[in-house]
Structure 1
């Protein structure tokens, strides 16, 4: 039932194609007639053709002249429908019915079993001969010679029936020897060519549909795939020859589509059992179609390259079933070589050569990723593919950017696939030598295109592939921890080459090397991220989370030095990615400095944290703040410097005042008064804030000084450990120290009115006064309370008198 529906569908498709073709021809004829009539109206006789007036003949009657110059009225919709239904459809539908009848005649003979195979084939052959005789009779009979469609339909049906008859006789019943079958096929093909030349496009369409539908009658696997593929190959070759002779591009394209359709149908129906034959057929079809299509007429560029690309894609689909045997690789590389050679002959096909290079690389990736490992044939294919693709691309890279792209794919694709997926195939040193040789070839390609401007694939791509292969060659023999450092030479060479050529795209390439360094250092960076998360969450002992010092130096420190040198000494390096590289480098540098600063003290035990935890945090905060001040002095790194200063203050606020404050968490700050970590940390941060512009940083400086004074009082009363209750002496010490600080700020504010210190001093003085009256004195009694009020009163009076002398303040009324 499925075959019946398929045959009917093919007949309907044939009718639709013929109807569209005839309608297009009729429109063309109508347009030509209109142009001829208009030309007749516009024609005026020249003076040389004029005759004496007496000799001029009388003009023809108007009624006789009108048919020559007046256009016929356009047919109405009803007239067109009538012409289609009554005049065209019956003929072409009848032709399709004859084809289907011939096919069903053979099928009926097969299913009924009433007659033997030889008789069945004889009947089918007689039916084909009868149709052919009928086509010739209709061309000669007076009643039908004026309508060529009748002869076209009958001849097309005869061709289709003859193809089907021969296939059944040779493939299913073996009534004809292979040699005789080939000769008969050639004869029918020659007859089809002759009849198509004789009767035109409709006969060719019938031959096309009948020829490709014929194998469905007996079943696809009735006689094996090899005879079927040979039959299809001969049929397609005949159609190509006919298309070239008549200039029928549509016929050649239809044959290509039908050929690839049969290949996919065979793969779908038969699985991988006959993949080798299908691969050979696909290879021959792709090459033959690419050679034949240009001879059939003008084509769009992408259509000319389509058969090669389709063939390569089809082989890619077949690859898993071919098991990458030597024969399979012979097909793949043959088609790739054909794409390269044909592209050299015809520039239109250069895209097909590039597609071949990419698809061969994909095939190698599939072969080397197999669980069983690459076969010996696949290993040899790496060498052959590199020599073929890279050699052709390098040889002809000067002809256009696509050839340079072919060279780059050939240099990097096959070898990198083999190296990265199966590094054990060769010794590490051998792999490095191979990679360096290919890197030198890519560098030569970039040098060859050194005079190019704009988006030149050879110049920029050659440098990129050279850096890639060189980096792999240097990084592969070393441990992963040292791999980022091995990319430093590639970075340096790309920076130098970009400055030499002054090419924006070349100058941007080092950014991708920096990105590769960052990715290779992913392990240490993840460790640092985990350490930071643990510290922010309150973990006191984060040293075990940090990577080893050697790995920090090789994975992060050395690459950062190289990137920093490029940023400093090569102003154009990294191109438009320079801001991103600067930002990422600053973040990674901060994380690296943090990890390196944690190495000397190695706080891995609670006792070590108690003794050195606060001092270590203070030193790291000083490091961030100092680096930020130095970077903020340069315009290029000003934002990064400010960011590091913000990180320093954020660290001090979160870790030292909130999370691990020494007032709650026991930590030694130092035994020396004033010269201890608790005092020096806010004091130095105040100096850092003083160097930065802005009112916010000024108030940050004042708050830092206030914290330093408070820390000094606390350390004087408690010693190195700041935990413990608040004593009376400490409480009055805060009041005395803050009062003295307020006086100093007032004095400095009077000498420097724009500093804001006078306002800060007045605010602090007010706060100290309220503290003393509300808190300090309330806790005293007797003589101490009297003496406290007396001393505070005298101090405030003295401050007021001094302030009035220094500043002209009008007395209040």
Structure 2
């Protein structure tokens, strides 16, 4: 029965929506008719005076006052004035910087403070009278001497009496006119409305005197009275009635068999406030009633009241916020869109645009929250249904609303969030039901198919918006709608592949058919765009749909062949997008390139990541890592026309990073042992994290603000993870110490596990010192030091391995090993000096001489006591000959450099 009463109440709400709209439309027609009559009267008067002037001799002009402004204006101007009534109150509005109907302004807050300071007693009186009605139905009179029926009746009589007294005073003295009775009628009538609302609510919620349907009809009647009164009273009635009526259910307390009724009660309050404000045009009343009722309904949801009715409330409130302020069943919001306001465009959107757009965003967030908290499949479907309804409405119903042309982003992003949160562990009810085991006779689950069908419908509606924009010669919006149509349905399919992996349930062949069906849709759109008139714009839009189709075809193909399908398909999409940008010069597509590169990097490093690459088949590894890296490399090469763009920087860093990761994966597979926790396994893992950190630091070349902060944060996270792995490698898993495991060097000398453990890290830090030229010099010098350190560690351990075998943990150092270290240090110093001579680098020359000094110190401090016999003689002889040669080489370098300076 509660459901039947709910539908009856919903019909009543719709009826109340229609009646005020018709009344408002009639008022608007009367105003326009009156304006036209006054204009015609002025024209007749001007015509008559002109005839009199023609019949009389001219009179000399002395000082004619300025002519007053015309009494009537055009319909468009009148509508603009009603949409934004307080232009004079905002100095910045006159300069076109902010809209005139801007609610939260300093002058409004100051005016409210002044009013409360001067009329605080009146506000307290209204609050007291409103609470009197609430407490009458809650506690009764004289400790329960009255029965519940008489308590409710008393509250209704009190409310009617307060409204009647307020109306008598208003008719005699007015409500907004200055004097002793200013705002007094609003206070009395507002308190009366609160008492009426409380009485009807208590009759059902506290005492169960009437069923839910009857209570909802009574609330509709009270709301209609509130609307009518609001049209004749000042703002005090609206503010007091809204706040008091919203707070009444929480003040009453008690319990109800149908608590969902309060959602529709709050919707009625919102309807009353919006209907009053659409005539009065105060603007702040609409904002107040939306915020207050939204908070109240959210409180009910948090308290566990049925979420289904909360979703219906969100739908009703969104529709009212879009229709009532505009006074149109087909909204036509104009001005700057919401996204333009976020990006800093001026002037700001008009007040109805901000109100409707903000409510759609709030409803989208509410639907995401409901889906996240849902414990049943039905509730998730209802949340997705609300989002689909809002998305379809934004694409079709709001097609005339220029100011809300981007509001479709809110429900579209919300749909993606709902699908993503279903894949979070533990899985949501929708994904759990989709993956639930089934008997062979059961049918194929249609969850993914239905959602993709709705996504395809949304892409078709976006395609229609694109055609509409193209017909009115708006190339910019047409391209944006084309990108949206080409990305939404394929993006949903890629998200399913990325998070849900439907091929596990549906099978690779059936899932590939889904991709091919969407590819056919994108191909049809591309063909229609290609057949359209125009030399450039249709070709560009056709190319965008062509890239989407190619991406889906590539995904379908690789689904049948390998697990690396999504990664390669994303690479194809990035390459196709770059080709379109290169041909048609469309910088906006750079965002698509960046997102694609980031997702490819995430898949190859994190999920399924390097652990999948270590265990997967060789063909799939080469296809995923090699194919994606090659596609990104080709994309980077084709983007040579934008050398400093953020997309080119992201592609460059992705190619370098994925190449390093691919090399590490191949080295791990070549080792032939699945030992991640070893000196060489940890070295490869540390290289991957260090490369990821360097990747983020390199991308700091492009972008600032929040993006830069995010990249710094990611670089710190990756760097800390790499540092932790490097610390484990240097201590617990060091083959010299051998503290936890039996670490042995694997492979032939020079090309063994020591090279795998230390040389990739040295190369990673060396590339960082080379490529991070935009970062502070100190950081680059640190990378150089780490490069030298890991190269020295490899050389030192390799020398020990040559003399002591694969077990480096044996105690002691032999004399040949100690002498080999001296020879290696001297050879490195000579190499550095030759390199400094070739590069004419003073810094490298100083480093070479520092190496010589360290070699001398080692010979005199360590070799003197550690060596004996002929080896000690050879050590000192070799050092002397080496030093003599280095002195000769150093002098030759100085002489040549001096000659070069003299000739210059």
Taking a change above 3 Å as real, the CA distance of residues 591 and 234 of structure 1, as seen in their structure-2 partners, is: same
Q: Please, which moves more after superposition, 160-169 or 258-267?
A: 258-267
Structure-2 separation of matches of 1:205 and 1:174: 30
SS of 1:232's partner is helix
Structure-2 separation of matches of 1:387 and 1:320: 22
- Once the two structures are superposed, residues 640-680 of structure 1 have per-residue CA deviations (whole angstroms, 9 ceiling, x without a partner) of 8558747854763676555xx22223599869x86xx6654
Higher relative contact order (CA 8 A, sep 6+): 2
Aligned pair 1:458/2:492, yes or no? no
Aligned pair 1:328/2:359, yes or no? no
Confirm or deny: 8 A CA contact 1:603 1:613 kept in the other structure. no
Aligned pair 1:492/2:630, yes or no? no
Aligned match of 1:614: 818
Shift of 1:153: 3.4
Taking a change above 3 Å as real, the CA distance of residues 524 and 235 of structure 1, as seen in their structure-2 partners, is: closer
Aligned match of 2:270: 236
Aligned match of 1:665: 866
Aligned match of 1:153: 187
Name which one, 1 or 2, has greater alpha-carbon Rg: 1
Taking a change above 3 Å as real, the CA distance of residues 412 and 148 of structure 1, as seen in their structure-2 partners, is: same
Taking a change above 3 Å as real, the CA distance of residues 628 and 416 of structure 1, as seen in their structure-2 partners, is: farther
Aligned match of 2:688: 520
Aligned match of 1:511: 653
Confirm or deny: 8 A CA contact 1:163 1:210 kept in the other structure. no
Taking a change above 3 Å as real, the CA distance of residues 194 and 463 of structure 1, as seen in their structure-2 partners, is: same
Structure-2 separation of matches of 1:169 and 1:92: 28
Aligned pair 1:178/2:191, yes or no? no
Shift of 1:626: 6.1
Confirm or deny: 8 A CA contact 1:603 1:609 kept in the other structure. no
| Unaligned stretches of 5+ residues in structure 1 | 1-45, 57-79, 699-748, 756-813
Taking a change above 3 Å as real, the CA distance of residues 104 and 456 of structure 1, as seen in their structure-2 partners, is: same
Taking a change above 3 Å as real, the CA distance of residues 417 and 179 of structure 1, as seen in their structure-2 partners, is: closer
- Once the two structures are superposed, residues 535-562 of structure 1 have per-residue CA deviations (whole angstroms, 9 ceiling, x without a partner) of 9999899995989867777788679889
Shift of 1:216: 2.5
Q: Please, which moves more after superposition, 583-592 or 165-174?
A: 583-592
Matching residue within 98, 102, 123 for 2:129: 98
Q: Please, which moves more after superposition, 292-301 or 421-430?
A: 421-430
Structure-1 separation of matches of 2:634 and 2:387: 38
Structure-2 separation of matches of 1:443 and 1:493: 7
RMSD: 6.2
Confirm or deny: 8 A CA contact 1:92 1:153 kept in the other structure. yes
Taking a change above 3 Å as real, the CA distance of residues 657 and 511 of structure 1, as seen in their structure-2 partners, is: farther
Structure-1 separation of matches of 2:858 and 2:502: 48
Structure-1 separation of matches of 2:484 and 2:827: 48
Scaled by the length of structure 2, the TM-score of the pair is: 0.53
Structure-2 separation of matches of 1:386 and 1:648: 66
Taking a change above 3 Å as real, the CA distance of residues 457 and 593 of structure 1, as seen in their structure-2 partners, is: same
Confirm or deny: 8 A CA contact 2:134 2:198 kept in the other structure. yes
- How many positions carry a matched residue from both structures? 618
Confirm or deny: 8 A CA contact 1:369 1:421 kept in the other structure. no
Confirm or deny: 8 A CA contact 1:583 1:640 kept in the other structure. no
- Once the two structures are superposed, residues 756-800 of structure 1 have per-residue CA deviations (whole angstroms, 9 ceiling, x without a partner) of xxxxxxxxxxxxxxxxxxxxxxxxxxxxxxxxxxxxxxxxxxxxx
Q: Please, which moves more after superposition, 247-256 or 486-495?
A: 486-495
Taking a change above 3 Å as real, the CA distance of residues 627 and 431 of structure 1, as seen in their structure-2 partners, is: farther
Taking a change above 3 Å as real, the CA distance of residues 587 and 193 of structure 1, as seen in their structure-2 partners, is: same
Shift of 1:208: 1.2
Aligned match of 1:652: 855
Confirm or deny: 8 A CA contact 1:438 1:469 kept in the other structure. no
Taking a change above 3 Å as real, the CA distance of residues 432 and 195 of structure 1, as seen in their structure-2 partners, is: same
Confirm or deny: 8 A CA contact 2:768 2:783 kept in the other structure. no
Structure-2 separation of matches of 1:669 and 1:347: 92
Scaled by the length of structure 1, the TM-score of the pair is: 0.58
Q: Please, which moves more after superposition, 237-246 or 420-429?
A: 420-429
Taking a change above 3 Å as real, the CA distance of residues 689 and 389 of structure 1, as seen in their structure-2 partners, is: farther
Matching residue within 419, 431, 437 for 1:377: 431
Aligned pair 1:299/2:351, yes or no? yes
Aligned pair 1:227/2:261, yes or no? yes
Structure-2 separation of matches of 1:693 and 1:291: 88
Aligned match of 1:435: 567
Shift of 1:286: 5.2
- Once the two structures are superposed, residues 591-638 of structure 1 have per-residue CA deviations (whole angstroms, 9 ceiling, x without a partner) of 564465444625626489416523553465366446645654666x95
Structure-1 separation of matches of 2:412 and 2:757: 35
Aligned match of 2:290: 256
Structure-2 separation of matches of 1:300 and 1:667: 94
